[in-house]
Chains A and B, each alone.
Chain A
Amino acid sequence: MKKKRADNICMMQGNQACARGAMMAGCRFFAGYPITPSSEIAENLALSMPAVGGRFIQMEDEIGAMGAVIGASLTGLKSMTATSGPGFSLKQENIGYAAMAEVPCVVVNVQRGGPSTGMPTFPAQMDVQQARWGSHGDRGVIALSASSAQETFEQTIRAFNLSEKYMMPVILLVDEVVAHSTEKVVLPDPGGIELFNRKQPTESPGEYLPYRETDDGIPVLARFGTGYRYNVTGLCHDETGFPTNNPEKIEKLIRRLTDKIERHRKDITHCHKIMLEDADVAIFAYGSVARSARRAVFLCREAGIKAGLIEPTVLWPFPSDEVLETAEGVKAFVVAEMNLGQMAREVELASKCRVEVHRLNRVDGRLITPQQVVEKVREAL
């Protein structure tokens, strides 16, 4: 008897996995602009979106794509855009708008080397601080990371869930090599995926206030066209959604934009931890580098060196508690990343100088190898 092929197991590129994850998360609006190495996300969604009644539009530029995503989200569709470094820079003003007006959406940034046009076809992790501070003004940020096609699929779904739950833009940072590598992905049963859909008002339109104070600090925004007429603005606003110059109300708003993340840190942050219990050296790595780091842990162990790995899958909010806890049990940290130490300084801050933080950086568009990580661990000891 011929064995039935499992159709939930497939080979796909990270970018394809992202598009598939978006579809399964219920994304029904995509606006984008062509840019390497993220274009396959748009191409895949151009193909699959209309068949389920979703909308795909290629806009005239990156800024317009971000604007369209926000407009569509306010009208009730789960919305997404995808880009890379230069486009991520262009989108920043409207990402800030989505944060200020508290509009859920997902922004995928397939990182390439920078600054400027940089290295369109080579991986980098140079946008991790831009994801945190790229748009002007104070606000909380959620940015996820993925190290494989499988994880890109899962993190895309998580990005939608977090954006709908916390009413804000959520960034997914992938690097070029994860986006373009084809590997095995096991797709879950669509019914088995937990999806979060944004709350809708239960009060009557006459009683409705879009930015009314809530227990969890997260506003309830009605979909446009459902009878709840209100105003949305990027200006500082009060609970009505109209601009205000009242210092107390402004202070309250700006603090809440950060606090709504801080108070839900435990629900948002997540790290993979490998062999940290008895480790002398903790490697901190994320994205494609984490895969080399995992291999390095085993190579170290084979050589009798007690290494472990802390791999955050959520870069922002930064896993400060987890890093501090790890710092208390090890002799040194090795932070391996494809930039010049953008997260190493966060590790230094979070570990409160309890241990020395050694940096392993590569900015030539090539991968950090397991051997390089092992060498750095040896240096750290």
Chain B
Amino acid sequence: MFDYLRYIRERNFPHIWCSGCGDGIVLKALIRAVDKLGISRDEMVMVSGIGCSSRTPGYVDINTLHTTHGRAIPFATGVKLANPKLHVIVVTGDGDATAIGGNHYIHAARRNIDLTVLLYNNYIYGMTGGQVSPTTPRGKRASTAPFGNQEPAFNISDLAEAAGASFVARGDVYHAQKLEKLIVKAVQKKGFSVVEILSPCPTAYGRRNRMAHPVKMMEWLRDQTVPVAKWERLSPEEREGKVRTGIIVDVDKVEYTETNDKLIESLKADK
């Protein structure tokens, strides 16, 4: 059996997540991915913002930085640029990264700085009690959308792609093995990488949207996700209400810290 304890800060357990929450499944997939990558834990820094998913760093025995709401990416940018040898993983949520931190999300993608962003999408603000988020689907209920969400939702993977990220993938906690592989690929990719992770929140989202039972939410994940290869064959009508999973973008682009390193080297050579 896989030895999770090697990577865990046991003193901080039990964790804060509700029963039925998907974040623990992501944590396990993440730990397996880190183990597979074989990177020294001393050379990894995990940076998070504020929210349920952003509590992940407290449980992982690497260098961890729990920052302010929405600002994980700028803090991570500082860490990475100060020492590009470090592997920097950002753990954030849909509210953290695409509402209050939306500006940093698109600009880090544009800059193509070598960060790996694990963006947990639970379609809601879980920690604060179920307020509507930029990814809450139109019509779904939240504590601040008691009559149903009146706004359209962001597609946060498409957003990263449009902004210039070199790697974008979507995974979900129902397909945990596949998720692990996506995280490995994202960390290995040189450049700004995003893995959008669909993770259920039965407590704040499911209860308001007729999926109070965690199993029901897992089934919803199973039924709405379509692997990219199959997605290509679907008609627009068939795609309605579904989301594609797997690798969406994987391109090689100039990475920011490498460019900066080259500038420094060239100026040294001029001397």
**Which residue of A has the minimal Cβ distance to B86?**
A225
Instruction: Count how many chain B residues have C-beta atoms less than 8 Å from C-beta atoms of the other chain.
Output: 41
- Grouping DSSP codes into helix (H, G, I), strand (E, B) and loop, the B interface class, with mixed when no group exceeds half, is helix
- The answer to whether B267 and A51 have CB atoms under 8 Å apart is yes
- The answer to whether B43 and A225 have CB atoms under 8 Å apart is yes
Interface stretch, picked from B63-71, B223-231, B237-245, is B63-71
- The answer to whether A224 and B63 have CB atoms under 8 Å apart is yes
- The answer to whether A243 and B74 have CB atoms under 8 Å apart is no
With contacts A51-B267, A55-B82, A94-B68 taken as known, whether A229 is within 8 angstroms of B63 at the C-beta atoms is yes
- The answer to whether B66 and A234 have CB atoms under 8 Å apart is yes
- Is the CB of B209 closer than 8 A to any CB of chain A? no
Complex CA distance for A60 and B111, rounded to whole angstroms: 10
**Which range contains the number of A residues in contact with the other chain?**
35 or more
Interface stretch, picked from A66-74, A181-189, A368-376, is A66-74
Q: In the complex, what residues of B have CB within 8 A of residue A243's CB?
A: 58, 66
- The answer to whether B41 and A234 have CB atoms under 8 Å apart is no
- Is the CB of B144 closer than 8 A to any CB of chain A? no
- Is the CB of A363 closer than 8 A to any CB of chain B? no
Complex CA distance for A233 and B68, rounded to whole angstroms: 9
- Is the CB of B212 closer than 8 A to any CB of chain A? no
With contacts A55-B81, A224-B86, A232-B64 taken as known, whether A71 is within 8 angstroms of B76 at the C-beta atoms is yes
- The answer to whether B74 and A64 have CB atoms under 8 Å apart is yes
Complex CA distance for A10 and B41, rounded to whole angstroms: 48
Distance to closest chain A CB from B227 (angstroms): 34
- The answer to whether A50 and B68 have CB atoms under 8 Å apart is no
Mask, A20-62, CB within 8 Å of B = 1, is 0000000001010000000000000000001101010101110
- Grouping DSSP codes into helix (H, G, I), strand (E, B) and loop, the A interface class, with mixed when no group exceeds half, is mixed
User: Which of A192-249 touch B at CB < 8 Å?
Assistant: 224-227, 229-235, 240, 242-243
- Is the CB of A117 closer than 8 A to any CB of chain B? no
Distance to closest chain A CB from B257 (angstroms): 9
**Which residue of A has the minimal Cβ distance to B106?**
A60
- The answer to whether A29 and B78 have CB atoms under 8 Å apart is yes
Q: In the complex, what residues of A have CB within 8 A of residue B74's CB?
A: 31, 59, 63-68, 71
- The answer to whether B264 and A97 have CB atoms under 8 Å apart is no
Q: Which of B12, B43, B47, B85 contacts A71 (CB 8 A)?
A: B47
Q: In the complex, what residues of A have CB within 8 A of residue B75's CB?
A: 67-68, 70-71
Which of B's residues lie within 8 Å of A, judged by CB? 9, 11-12, 41-43, 45, 47, 57-58, 61-68, 71, 73-83, 85-86, 103-104, 107, 260, 263-264, 267-268, 271
The 9 closest A-B pairs by CB, nearest first: A71-B78, A67-B74, A68-B78, A75-B82, A64-B74, A72-B78, A60-B107, A72-B82, A71-B75
